[in-house]
Structure 1
Amino acid sequence: MNIPNLLTLARIAFIPLLVVIFYLPYGWSLPLAAALFALASITDWLDGYLARRWDQATPFGAFLDPVADKLMVAVALALLIERYESLWLTLPALVIIGREIVISALREWMAEMGKRGLVAVSWIGKVKTTLQMVALLLLLGFVPGAPVAQLGVATLYAAAALTLWSMAQYLRAAWPHLRRSM
């Protein structure tokens, strides 16, 4: 167990805390939930950086890091779907969650075939993740209808568009190998 792996585990431990803080009936609960999400987002970057910098990458960390990311994002999106009760927020949220499931399955499938490198994280995926984190931070921290929250919804749509684009790229790269396996 090393520091990068502990940071990843901390991100998972933040999830129930995020949910509890989100539902607290106080004016400070939303900014605190957003701050906790921001801290989790920073640990996402930091654990990878430290693992590479200190040469502490482990198979456990490689497995757990994307799981922690997807759990945190899916829970935040689920909280926001409930809060907004709007098709306009639900649609991009479901696109993002659905894409994460598809790409996780695709990566697992490609790893079974020894071709995981074909679906490695791309620069579009990194930009998508950044937009997604910014959108979720804005949406968690402010009440629906606030100008900053509206910016968060627009940013979530941009993230959803990149989500579809990156998914199409991954599927296109993997398609010849998938077709041969059918």
Structure 2
Amino acid sequence: MKLTIPTLLTLFRIALIPVLVVVFYLPYSWTHIAAALIFALGALTDWLDGWIARRYRMYSAFGAFLDPVADKLMVTVALFLIVQAHPTPWMALWAAVIVGREIAVSALREWMAEVGQRARVKVAWIGKFKTVVQMVALIFLLYSVVPDKPGRVAPWMGGPIFHIGDWLLAVAALLTLWSGFQYLRAAWPALRDAPDE
């Protein structure tokens, strides 16, 4: 198996996940800034590996499998960190909606692939827009929450940035539901007509 540049970038993104967790919990005043920068670097590699793969036609089966896994892992871990640092019902709800939709859509795509209908549930523009909103929200929230003081936000613009991130995460959760519905609607004919086992 040949490792392409996009695949190496994806592996790098996965390697950033434990670094993000460790840095987030370090007992220093700058860790929220570093955690936000680490997540932003991961989000940048997500865009970059896709651009390189398309621009230079560096596709691989392993990369196609690994890229969405890396994205989901990084987003899920960031959501867990944020909910732990700011344990409010709304924050938990947004996180549950986003993670739950990812699980449901992954299962839907797997089933559609099994019945030869994978193309019906390819990524649509709404999913890409949701991803951008979600990444910005998570960067803002990682910057503004304080891990050792649950419910508190960081000083120096932490409050406004937190509120922007909170609202963007709510928007991302709603877009998540909308895009999940779009995937389900596209897959519904295959689900409806599939023979019962």
Q: For this structure pair, what is the TM-score category when the shorter chain's length is used for normalisation?
A: over 0.9
Q: Distance in 1 between matches of 2:112 and 2:50?
A: 22
- Structure-1 separation of matches of 2:13 and 2:63: 12
Once the two structures are TM-superposed, the CA of residue 55 in structure 1 deviates from its matched residue by: 0.9
- Provide the residue aligned with 1:159 in structure 2: 172
> CA offset at residue 152 of structure 1?
0.4
Compare CA radii of gyration and give the structure with the larger one.
Answer: 2
In structure 2, the residue matched to 1:29 is 31
Report percent identity of matched pairs.
Answer: 59
SS at structure 1 position matched to 2:28: coil
Give me the TM-score of the superposition, normalised by structure 2.
0.90
Choose which of 5, 8, 18 in structure 2 pairs with 1:6.
Answer: 8
Q: Please report how far the alpha carbon of residue 25 of structure 1 lies from its aligned counterpart in structure 2 after TM superposition.
A: 1.1
Residue 179 of structure 1 aligns with which residue? Answer: 192
**CA offsets per residue over residues 63-104 of structure 1, 9 Å max, x none?**
000000000000000111111111011101110000000001
Q: 1-side partners of 2:97 and 2:186: how far apart?
A: 20
Give unmatched runs, 5+ long, in structure 2.
146-151, 154-158
Cα shift readout 1:26-72 (whole Å, capped 9, x = no counterpart): 11100000000000000001001101111111111110000000000
Matched, 1:147 2:160: yes
Quote the residue 1:80 is aligned against. Answer: 82
Q: Which residue is equivalent to 1:40? A: 42
The residue aligned with 2:148 is none
Q: Distance in 2 between matches of 1:64 and 1:36?
A: 19
Within-5 A mapping of 1:30-179 = 30-143=32-145, 144-145=152-153, 146-179=159-192
Moved more, 99-108 or 138-147: 138-147
Structure 1 length-normalised TM: 0.98
Q: Which moved more, 1:1-10 or 1:139-148?
A: 139-148
Residue 2 of structure 1 deviates from its aligned partner by 1.1
Distance 2:50 2:25 in 1: 31
Whether the aligned pair in 1 keeps the contact of 2:23 and 2:31 (CA below 8 Å) is: yes
State the one-letter code of the partner of 1:153: D
Q: 1:92 & 1:83 partners in 2: Cα distance?
A: 14
Shift of residue 113, structure 1, vs aligned partner: 1.2
2:193 & 2:76 partners in 1: Cα distance?
A: 32
Q: Which has the higher helix share?
A: 1
Amino acid at match of 2:175: L
**Distance in 2 of aligned mates of 1:52 and 1:5:** 13
- Report the number of matched residues: 182
* AA matched with 1:42: L
The one-letter code sitting in structure 2 at the alignment partner of 1:163 is: T
